[in-house]
A and B are shown apart, each in its own frame.
Chain A
Amino acid sequence: MNKVLIVEQEPILMAIVEKRLLAEGWETAACGDGKTARELIDSFQPDMLITNLLIPFYSGKEVIAYALEKLPKLFIIIVALFQQEDAKEEHLEMGVHTYYSKPFDLEELVAFIQVQKTSSSIH
């Protein structure tokens, strides 16, 4: 597990998460909308997807569905503003591995991602 795709509408958050993961040795790609995200899923072939739900062109949910269709083993993390608890469960059922509600702890997210990286390399 080495490649991560970050889909986040807020450019500064996207830049922060991307820079942080670059520093941890990840190969990164980032975009702010669903259309580019779909293109990057095809061209970049990420091992992990970190996505917001409210993004332009295609929603986060649509991007996840597309990603799972193309890359069934993709590890998916949602980082979004959840209004309803039901939404979280719905996404977990879809194949999302975990979610972080905004405001989120960047270091907690990075630590979790690093654990996934280590465990995937062991397996």
Chain B
Amino acid sequence: MILAQSILGIVIFITQLLKISLSKELMQTITLITICAGLVIILVTVGFAVFRRIYKRIQTQFEAHFRKWVAEEFTLLAKSPKHIVTIPLELKAALKNSIKRNIAVEELLVCKKYLKGVAMQAAVNLYEELDLRKVTNKKLKSGIWSRVVTGIQEIYIFDQYDAMEQLYRFADNSNPFIRAEAQFGVVNLQGFDALRFLKNVQNQLSTWDQINILEQLKLFTPKPLDEMPIWISSTNDSVVLLGLKILFEYPDGRFYTNMIACLDHSNPLIRYHAIRCCEKINVFDTNEKLENQYSNETIENQLLLLDVLMLLPEIPGAKLLVSLLKEPNELIRLKAAENIAKHYDKGLLLVESVEDNNKERKAQLIKHLQTEICL
């Protein structure tokens, strides 16, 4: 009613405008074109508003109807586990509409995300019985990356294991959002077994992608990482980094040699993570290897290396550590002194014996070692 009144008002307004123009003999082509263009814009805007209103109404009505049906089905299933879901003809007909199918998927996604047990499984069953996988498959084939990402999310949230191969293909997609979601999805579904995608990944995994994968793995029981040598010798630096991060979280002595080989890598970040892994996987001469590595490293790596030496059971050689007490970098001096004090019986005396022109600084260092290390 309001809409009809608005359109009528616009028409009357334009007619009046034309009358004025004609009466004053100012009716020119350009005026007419402007008025027509204005009318078209108004009609398009009104049409869009009407469409949105109708869409919203359909959406609200269907949402309420669908929620009621799902709630009833869940209750019937809870009351009688042998209950067979019957899809009303009305709902079947409604689901032929793509808007309504998408609404149904979104509603069931909420159930699957926030419920556990019987109700969660019921959400998955309804997704399958309503044949909503078709909606997901359509999204996976879309040319719009955001739709593909949504499709991938639906696959792993609804535990659609039969779509694993599709997800594996997406795991090395050129679009970073698609591949990140697919990598997360495969790990979400298959845990450690899903890491097999790493040997085929050509594109980079961002630090955030790596964190997400590591977090997902925490939800699964660890399994032997047989492909670790392939990952940490990959030409893709991000795969090597993720491999080393996984190795740090789930140490496996079988890969010690492969891990030590990473100390020769040209990427300092990879060397950083290899040094970090030495804390968890080490043998009798790891400290010696790290000491030899020291001079090839960046400051950040040197600091980490000194931290790792502190944690290793073997005593590091005094020669390197004593020489570091004369380093200009204060943190390096501190960490070297801590190593000496921790590993040597007369470490404190050794640190005191090294000359330092700044007496106050040296006194502070000794005090620190006495309170923090020697106690």
Contact = CB atoms under 8 A, between A and B. Distances in A.
A106 B68 CA distance: 17
A108 interface: yes
Contact of B67 (A12, A102, A106): A12
B70 interface: yes
A24 to B, nearest CB: 9
B113 interface: yes
B226 to A, nearest CB: 32
B110 A10 contact: yes
B79 A16 contact: no
A92 interface: no
Contacts of B116: 103-106
Given A20-B75, A103-B114, A105-B116, 16 more contacts: A10-B114, A11-B63, A11-B67, A12-B110, A13-B111, A13-B114, A15-B71, A19-B71, A23-B78, A103-B113, A103-B115, A104-B114, A105-B118, A105-B119, A106-B78, A106-B118
B129 interface: no
B117 A16 contact: no
Interface string A1-17: 00000000011110110
A104 B71 CA distance: 16
Contacts of B79: 23
Contacts of A102: 113-114
B74 interface: yes
13 contacts: A10-B114, A11-B67, A12-B67, A12-B70, A19-B68, A19-B74, A23-B75, A103-B116, A104-B116, A105-B116, A105-B117, A106-B78, A106-B118
Interface in B344-366: none
Nearest to A23: B75
A104 B74 contact: no
B120 interface: yes
A16 B119 CA distance: 9
B330 interface: no
B107 interface: yes
A69 interface: no
Contacts of B67: 11-12, 15
Contacts of B70: 12, 15-16
A18 interface: yes
Contact of B107 (A12, A19, A105, A108): A12
Interface residues of B, number: 21
Nearest to B76: A23
A107 B118 contact: yes
A109 B71 CA distance: 15
B104 to A, nearest CB: 10
Given A11-B63, A105-B116, A16 B68 contact: no
Counting chain A CB atoms within 10 Å of each CB, the highest count among B68, B78, B107 belongs to: B78
B117 A13 contact: no
Contacts of A103: 113-116, 120
A110 B78 contact: yes
Contacts of A11: 63, 67
A10 B107 CA distance: 9
Interface string B89-122: 0000000000000000001001101111111100
Contacts of B110: 10, 12-13
Contacts of B117: 105-108
A10 B123 CA distance: 15
B372 interface: no
A102 B71 CA distance: 18
B72 interface: yes
A54 B115 CA distance: 17
B113 A20 contact: no
A87 to B, nearest CB: 17
Contacts of B75: 16, 19-20, 22-23
A13 B70 CA distance: 10
A11, A18, A19, A108: most-surrounded residue (chain B CB, <10 A): A19
B111 A16 contact: yes
Nearest to A8: B114
Contact of B72 (A10, A13, A19, A106): A19
A84 B316 CA distance: 41
